[in-house]
Amino acid sequence: MKSDVVKSEAFAEMTRALTVGRDYSQQLATTEEFFRPIVMAEALNALRAAIGPGAIAVLRSMENTPLGFRTDRTDGYADHVLRDVMIQAMIDGLSFAGNQFNVIAGSYYVTKQGWAQKLTKLGASGITPYCSLPAPEDVIEGPPNDRGQRKFTCKVGGYAECLHQGQRVIVHMRDADGYDTRRIASAFGRDFADACPGITGKAEAALLKKLYYTCAGEPEPDEAGTPVTAEYKLIEPEVTTPASDEQHTMHDKALLDIAGATSLEQLSAVWEAVNQCRKTGDLTAEQIKELGKLKDKRKAELK
């Protein structure tokens, strides 16, 4: 009986918090830009007061579940992190269900489902994102972690479109006309095929974000999401080891091979060899970074 009472109080607290969040979300949507900071400050104070242990407990029951939202920690996040994420989601008008946002490295991140929801609230329909798979030479494969997974990082392009106010709106992320607007995305997997859903999901989220701000007529922020409370930590300076004679030799050979590539296929094979050298430690991180810039330049010349 006591357990039922506690649950009832928790859900009642969550309902009150959601009501406050909905009201301020609607108010912010109609507030002039000049006065938005004032309304935002009111919203933060009101929501912090409305969100107590009961509301946090309800939110935690949805953490890392298929019907709720995902995080990058199997043990979940502390109450103060969930509270700040909860505030951000409510101000954005997103649901705690349906994987509309994630918590990554302690920060709030809107997913492709979340951006689609925000577009729908703008009155958009026919929302379609599409991203293309990267070329093999554009994929950087990291070392395996303790779970046998590797981090795959690459540039991803694509487009997204919708109908908004009777007009077809389309945005692109591509390498064309001397500009490269593709986004860098990464994900963990046993191999690249295993990591692809994570990479394409992030790329589609970036496309729908771009589409949302285009439809809204607002400049697109640089970051995917800004946490309500920033947490600071000391970062130890990275210790770099000078390249050995063998690494210098491999670096010079790779430079010549990249510069001498006469086709994209040959360039891809050279870059695969560079990736192997990175895995075996035959090249330093700085050397690979330099080679990557040369590879991108040579690739553009060969197209």
Quickly state the pLDDT bin for 281 (edges 50, 70, 90). Answer: confident
- Amino acid identity for residue 230 in this structure: A
Strands 101-104 and 70-71: parallel
State which H helix or E strand residue 58 sits in. Answer: helix 53-60
In this predicted structure, the answer to whether residue 7 has a pLDDT above a threshold of 70 is no
Q: Which of 14-18, 183-187, 291-295 has the lowest mean pLDDT?
A: 291-295
Phi/psi for 13 (5° steps) reads: -65, -40
What is the rounded CA–CA span in Å between residue 54 and residue 11? 7
What is the rounded CA–CA span in Å between residue 41 and residue 24? 10
* pLDDT tens string 77-132: 999 999 999 999 999 889 999 999 999 888 899 999 999 999 999 999 999 999 98
What is the model's pTM? 0.67
Q: Decide if 170 contacts 160 (C-beta within 8 A).
A: yes
Query: Can you give the pLDDT at residue 302?
Result: 78
* pLDDT tens string 225-265: 433 333 333 344 445 566 676 777 787 788 778 888 888 88
Q: State CA 259 to chain mean position distance.
A: 34
Query: Can you give the pLDDT at residue 228?
Result: 35
* pLDDT tens string 47-70: 888 888 889 999 999 999 989 999
Query: Can you give the pLDDT at residue 225?
Result: 41
Q: Mean pLDDT for the chain? A: 83
> Structural domain boundaries of the chain?
1-110, 112-230, 258-302
Instruction: Given CATH 3.40.50, say whether it is the number of domain 112-230.
Output: no
What is the rounded CA–CA span in Å between residue 89 and residue 28? 13
% the chain with pLDDT above 90: 27
Cα dihedral 104, 109, 113, 114 sign = positive
Q: Residue 167, Cβ neighbours under 10 Å: how many?
A: 8
- Write the CA distances from 34 to 73, 215, 226, integer angstroms: 38, 21, 20
Mean pLDDT, rounded, for 15-41: 87
Query: Can you give the pLDDT at residue 241?
Result: 61
- Write the CA distances from 230 to 80, 109, 227, 236, 248, integer angstroms: 11, 14, 6, 19, 41
Query: Can you give the pLDDT at residue 219?
Result: 86
**56 CB-side CA count, 13 A:** 17
* pLDDT tens string 175-198: 888 888 888 888 888 988 898 888
Cα dihedral 80, 208, 141, 175 sign = negative
In this predicted structure, the answer to whether residue 136 has a pLDDT above a threshold of 80 is no
Q: Which of the two residues, 244 and 201, has the higher pLDDT score?
A: 201
Query: Can you give the pLDDT at residue 301?
Result: 79
Query: Can you give the pLDDT at residue 142?
Result: 87
Long-range contacts at 56-64 (CB < 8 A, ≥ 24 apart): 56/82, 56/83, 56/86, 57/10, 58/10, 58/11, 58/13, 58/14, 59/14, 59/86, 59/96, 62/96, 62/97
SS3 76: coil
